[in-house]
Amino acid sequence: MSMGEKEYRVTSPLLGTVIAVHAAVGSAVTAGKDLIVIESMKMEHPVSAEVDGAVSLVHVAVGDTVEEGQLLLTITPGVVAPAAQRIDNTPVAERQDLLRYQKRRNLTTDAARPEAMAKRHSRGQRSARENISDLVDEGSFQEFGSFAIAAQRQRRTLEDLIANTPGDGLVGGIATINSHPCAVVSYDYTVLAGTQGLLNHIKKDRLFALIAELRLPVILFAEGGGGRPGDTDSPGVTGLHTMAFALFGQLSGLVPMIGITSGYCFAGNAALLGCCDVIIATENSNIGMAGPAMIEGGGLGKVAATDIGPIEVQTKNGVVDIRVADEAAAVAAAKKYFNYFVQPRTAAQPGNDAALRDVVPEQRTRIYDVRQAIEAVADGGQFLELRSAFGVGIVTALLRIEGFAVGLIANNPAHLGGAIDSDAADKASRFVQLCDAHDLPIVSFCDTPGFMVGPEAEETAQVRHFSRMFVTAGSITVPWLTVVLRKGYGLGAQAMAGGSFHATSFTVSWPTGEFGGMGLEGAVRLGFKKELDAIADPVERKALEDKLIASAYERGSALNMASHMEIDEVIDPADTRMRIAGMLRSYPPTPQRTGKKRPMIDTW
């Protein structure tokens, strides 16, 4: 476009065909008004005036092919009379594409399926979207694949699929929890009983790949069954080439993985749940690698869904880490767990230092509740115990000490006197892997007479299970701080100290500490058997035995151990928090990693 002496020249901006002319000789035009439309490469390019005036000449007509720079029309500049300026009061219609989008968007919401929601709520459960809304920061959820529907177009109408299979039974995306980025993936049991369809597998694959790329902690709500036989739109046969399980398994050790389940969780859903670092399950949960249909199909009879993997079974056997009342409590527990792994240090809160002095009874053979020690050492008295009903000889918990997030293992003297059996060894070893993978320091409260002994113990493959504690501890890089509360005997005590009292960042003891290569009574009776057997008088024999045991206790006392530098220090129990936090402050910040530290975290 250019200005002559008395006229304004409008030229073509590109090669194309004129498909509309909105100007005639003598007509008034205003700046910005479209005058000619040119089509090029199937796209329409409007040409407008840049001045007010009147059209003096039109040089093209509809159908003409024009070159770039070719003259299209000329305008005589001038003020357009007010009468020529048309004021258009016609209401602007909403765009049809936005209306179509909004209508479809509304069909993906819970409100679009009131009957399904009412049925869900009647069972005391929440929808997938309600759970996600409770979990993540308000307004932070960015969904992926919300318009997916079940791959059943060959057997159902599109309208039916849109109305009844939103998201193909899976809701997923990225969000934040307490301002920390995360990913959320939730099966939707109200859609085809939470089965795994073609499109929701594709959605999972996309999300799992994104989680790996961005290293996002992931929260999985697993509920429903496995593969869906009713999908008709796939050319495949079995679907065994789906990548979801491989991709999800590869996340183990890379990012924190939190699994939540409520209701029925079978087959594929259970497989994904079992990959998670932690499993949080509600009281109404039933978890199993096969549901009733698969069991009956395998010729194993008819079984009620409620008889498969009920919560009592799955907590006692160690599958479930945290047992809660309902989905609201599950979400609360997930947030608490999540916080330990995304915030390695927060503002310190007080513990109960003075209470630590009275945890261990003065009578050395009296049991006590080690959880009282954990509560007293924890900031605000708050800790999150994992697998409380399994491997009860060792307590595993997450907590903070003067703001530092730590994982804590503690012998439970109320069970087998604190002896370590196969289940406790497995529980502790797996927990140490979890902490190391995500850079949580480990605190060990040792009070054990050693590993469990006897023929029955060996039937549990204890040699392998117990030794797992040594090889696991030998593979970690996080600080390990050992505090001996009372008993520190034999291989069990060494296992609680990462393999050796000198293998850890420090090994300290309370004044109640007592040590030996094995239980002192047994050591005296074995080591001095010849001398004791030589005394015929039982009273005299008992007096010598008591004297030898007392001498052994004195030799194995905490203060004597410290005097020989077999432990680093004896401390006032009230100083425990201070000593742990002081050591943790001495470590440099954990460097940012771009990949995994460990290949994976054992699912068991």
Rg over alpha carbons for the chain, rounded to the nearest Å, is 36
Measured between alpha carbons, how far is 310 from 315 in angstroms, rounded to an integer? Answer: 9
Q: Using CB atoms within 10 A of its CB, is residue 439 exposed (0-12), middle (13-18) or buried (19+)? A: middle
Q: Say how far apart CA 356 and CA 377 lie, in whole Å.
A: 7
Q: Residue 389 to residues 167, 285, 393, 548: CA-CA distances in angstroms?
A: 37, 16, 10, 39
Residues 330-366 have pLDDT tens digits of: 999 999 999 999 999 999 999 999 999 999 999 988 9
| DSSP β-ladder status, 8-11 and 569-570 | unpaired
**CB distance 183 to 120 below 8 Å:** no
Compute, in degrees rounded to 10, the torsion defined by CA atoms 473, 425, 501, 433: 20
Residue 388 has, within 13 A of its CA and on its CB side, a CA count of: 12
Answer yes or no: are the C-beta atoms of 195 and 169 closer than 8 Å.
yes
Residue whose tokens read 């880490």: 321
Stretches where the chain sits below pLDDT 70 are 1-5, 81-92, 518-520, 522-524
Taking the C-alpha atoms of residue 466 and residue 421, their distance in angstroms, rounded to an integer, is 7
**What's the pTM?**
0.88
Integer angstrom CA distances of residue 150 from 105, 165, 468, 500, 502: 16, 6, 45, 57, 59
Closest C-alpha among 137, 140, 112 to residue 127: 112
Element (H, E) at 75: strand 71-77
Domains of the chain, first to last: 2-80 (2.40.50.100), 99-339 (3.90.226.10), 346-513+559-585 (3.90.226.10), 519-556 (no CATH)
So what's the pLDDT on residue 520? 67
Summarize pLDDT for 169-200 with one digit per residue, the tens. Answer: 999 999 999 999 999 999 999 999 999 999 99
State the pLDDT at residue 50. Answer: 87
